[in-house]
Amino acid sequence: MAKKAAAFILVSLPVTGHLPVTIELAKRLMNHDRRVKNITILSWRLPFTSPSSSYSDALSRSHPDIDLVDLPEIEDPPPLDLYTRVAEAYIYRYIIKALPVLREIISALVSSYHASGSVHVVGLVLDFFSNPLIDVGDDLNIPSYILLTCSAGFLGLMKYLSERHRRVASEFDDRSCHELLSIPGFDRSVPVNVMPPRLFQKDSHEAYVKLAERFKDAKGILVNTFTDLEPHAIDYFSREENYPPVYVVGPVVNLENRPNPNIDPVEHDMIMRWLDEQHESSVVFFCFGSKGVLDSMQVKEIALGLESCGCRFLWSIRTNPMKDVKPYDLLPDGFMGRVTGRGVVCGWAPQVEVLSHKAVGGFVSHCGWNSILESLWFGVPIATWPMYAEQHLNAFTMTKELGLAVELRLDYVSGHGSVVIAEEISRAVRSVMNGGDSRREKVKEMAGLARKALMDGGSSFSAVSTFLRELLAVDPSS
Ligand code: UDP
């Protein structure tokens, strides 16, 4: 057993899909074992993201032994237009450029911990995009773990991608063909049109492959899922000997203290008051994550769909951060008048509070993995409308593999000119709100299993115990 107290260094992108999960994991590690005394979370600086100060203020009050530190901006970053065109390629290049500076920062941090004589840094925990820092861990003789804020199915895709790259050294070339892929961990063959759209673009495909290839170099992979949710994928990785051990530690969901600079406190109170006045399970919630910006034609079709289905709704509209447009500016003329009393339109929504509200009975979601875990946690069924990143694969898992969601669409790609028409939208809303109790029951059952996984003795609780036991068993003072 380690005689010294243990410290971790975690590295995360400053985005809503990654940083809150990293913070929650840090809290969980610390609460799990008293030997974990200090954690530093290093957060990248990226264009269009705010410094992490709102999170660090909240953390310093609740967990003073967790430091959240913004990394300095690097000199000569990649061109900004690359970020707006292909964020994955930008982030990969940014991180590779930042490696020398990061090596210095992490090495100084480790030295300062060790100088105290009583604390030893036992591990680096890196989010998906930060995994090139495995090299820094190796230099400093500190084991590196990857924290995957996506599904175990996505981990299967990463393994598939690095293997495919040895056979086919190019991006995927035709989204409309009917090719079926055999992806590790999936029970069914996976259609090529649910691959992340950026795998069809040369520079982002390259970034994905480079990141996928580093997974095998990690000492272990922590995945934000739970055994009852993805049994096939988890079983696959538990038997796979030529891959690092996988620790299934989820759901890691950020349920409290969710500071967000985008939230408008007046709108927040108005939404919650309005929900309080609605009947149980009567409201459908539309929200497409942090980047689900829709064009005006698509906004119009959603408005028409909501008008015709007659259902009560809360609709969070994302607008382009580079343009000064408010959600209401995008709505068709007279829309709010026609739906008075039965619908609310807002900007950034307090999603977790909304999903936990008894008035909410269905969720039309872009299927970001955090949104899926949050909706399952509160037992709210989803209608799938994936748009970008790995959301199509998540939607496929939820509809075809698990039968937990209604399929609104699996193949829509934002920014490619396709439009989902009002009729499809209202049909899916009716189905998710009224479509038989068996799916709702299944989702509620999954909510129970998610909670059970985190209880003392549950599968994810035990995985955290194993992870810490293995790390803390190495006596740094010997
Ligand atoms: N979120 C929110 N309000 C919004 C949009 C998103 O609170 O209006 C939160 C949501 O609860 C989730 C995160 O932002 O925790 C989005 O993560 P996800 O993985 O679902 O999607 P991403 O934004 O990464 O595409």
Express each pLDDT in 224-255 by its tens digit.
999 999 999 999 999 999 999 999 999 999 89
pLDDT above 50: residue 203:
yes
Q: Is the pLDDT of residue 475 over 60?
A: no
Q: Regarding beta strands 190-191 and 180-181, do their DSSP bridges make them parallel or antiparallel, or are they unpaired?
A: antiparallel
Q: Is the pLDDT of residue 435 over 50?
A: yes
- pLDDT of 53: 77
Measuring from each residue's beta carbon to the nearest atom of ligand 1, which residues come in under 6 Å?
A: 16-17, 287, 289-291, 316, 348-349, 351-352, 368-371, 374
Instruction: State residue 433's pLDDT score.
Output: 95
Q: Where in the chain is the domain with CATH 3.40.50.2000?
A: 5-252+452-472, 265-435
What's the rounded Cα separation, in Å, for the pair 368 and 318? 14
How far is the C-alpha of 464 from the C-alpha of 125, rounded, in Å?
Answer: 13
Going by CA atoms, what residue is nearest to atom 17 of ligand 1?
Answer: 17
Six token digits for residue 264: 């408008």
- The per-residue pLDDT for range 290-331, each reduced to its tens digit, is 888 888 899 999 999 999 999 999 999 998 877 777 888 889
**Confidence tier at 458 by pLDDT (50, 70, 90):** very high
Pocket test for ligand 1, best of 16, 294, 352 (most atoms within 8 A of CB): 16
How much distance in Å is there from the Cα of 259 to the middle of ligand 1?
A: 12
Q: Which helix (H) or strand (E) holds 426?
A: helix 422-434
Q: What mean pLDDT do residues 177-192 have? A: 94
The whole-chain average pLDDT of the chain stands at: 93
Cα of 374 to ligand 1 centre, how many Å?
Answer: 9
- Residue 397 DSSP code: I
- Nearest residue (by CA) to ligand 1, atom 18, is 368
Of 423, 384, 425, the C-alpha closest to 407 is 384
Are 54 and 261 in contact by the 8 Å Cβ rule? The answer is: yes
Nearest residue (by CA) to ligand 1, atom 24, is 17
| pLDDT mean over 38-65 | 85
Q: What is the mean pLDDT of residues 49-58?
A: 78
Where do we find the tokens 């007046």? 266
For the CA of 18, the nearest atom of ligand 1: 24
Considering only the top CATH level, what class is 265-435?
alpha beta
Q: Would you state the pLDDT for residue 384?
A: 98
Q: Looking at domain 5-252+452-472, which CATH architecture does it have?
A: 3-Layer(aba) Sandwich (3.40)
Distance of CA 13 to the CA centre of its chain: 11
Are 185 and 153 within 8 A, CB to CB?
A: yes
pLDDT at position 1 is: 46
Question: For ligand 1, atom 5, which residue shows the shortest CA distance?
Answer: 289
What's the pLDDT tens digit per position in 109-164? 999 999 988 899 999 999 999 999 999 999 999 999 999 999 999 999 999 999 99
Cα separation of 314 and 343, whole Å? 6
* d(CA 269, ligand 1 centre) in Å: 19
Give pLDDT, residue 476: 52
Percent of the chain with pLDDT over 70: 98
CA atoms within 13 A on the CB side of 76: 3
CA of 193 to the centre of ligand 1 (A): 23
**What is the pLDDT averaged over residues 216-221?**
97
Distance CA 221, CA 240 (A): 13
For 284, list phi and psi in degrees, rounded to 5: -100, 135
CA of 254 to the centre of ligand 1 (A): 11
Q: Does the pLDDT value for residue 338 go beyond 80?
A: yes
pLDDT of residue 478: 42
Show Cβ contacts of residue 6 under 8 Å, excluding neighbours closer than 6 positions.
33, 35, 36, 37, 119, 120, 121, 122, 471, 472
Q: Find the 288 Cα to ligand 1 centroid distance in Å.
A: 8
Q: Could you give the angle at which helices 152-167 and 231-239 cross, rounded to 10 degrees?
A: 60
Contacts of 273 (CB under 8 A, 6+ apart): none
**Average confidence (pLDDT) over 471-475:** 79
Residue of 120, 127, 357, 366 marked active site: 127
Ligand 1 closest atom vs CA 391: 25
State the pLDDT at residue 45: 87
Could you give the angle at the alpha carbon of 206 between the alpha carbons of 200 and 209, nearest 5°? Answer: 100
> Which residue of 18, 128, 351 sits with most ligand 1 atoms within 8 Å of its CB, as the best mutation to test the pocket?
351
Out of 291, 371, 375, give the residue to mutate to test ligand 1, the one with the largest number of ligand atoms within 8 Å of its CB. 371
DSSP alpha helix (H) spans, 116-254: 134-140, 152-167, 202-214, 231-239
Mutate to test the pocket of ligand 1, among 255, 370, 385, 394 (most ligand atoms within 8 A of CB): 370
Mean local confidence (pLDDT), 260-264: 79
Query: Hey, whose CA ends up nearest to atom 2 of ligand 1?
Result: 351
With a cut of 90, say whether residue 263 has pLDDT above it: no
- For residue 263, report the distance from its CA to the centre of ligand 1, in Å: 12
Ligand 1 atom showing the smallest separation from residue 355 Cα: 11
Note whether 434 and 383 are within 8 A (CB).
Answer: no
81 is catalytic: no
Catalytic: 18? Answer: yes
Query: CA 245 to CA 222: how far, in whole Å?
Result: 9
Q: Which atom of ligand 1 is nearest to the CA of 368?
A: 20
Query: What is the distance in A from the centroid of ligand 1 to the CA of 24?
Result: 15
Give tens-digit pLDDT for 362-420.
999 999 999 999 999 999 999 999 999 999 999 999 999 999 999 999 988 877 778 99
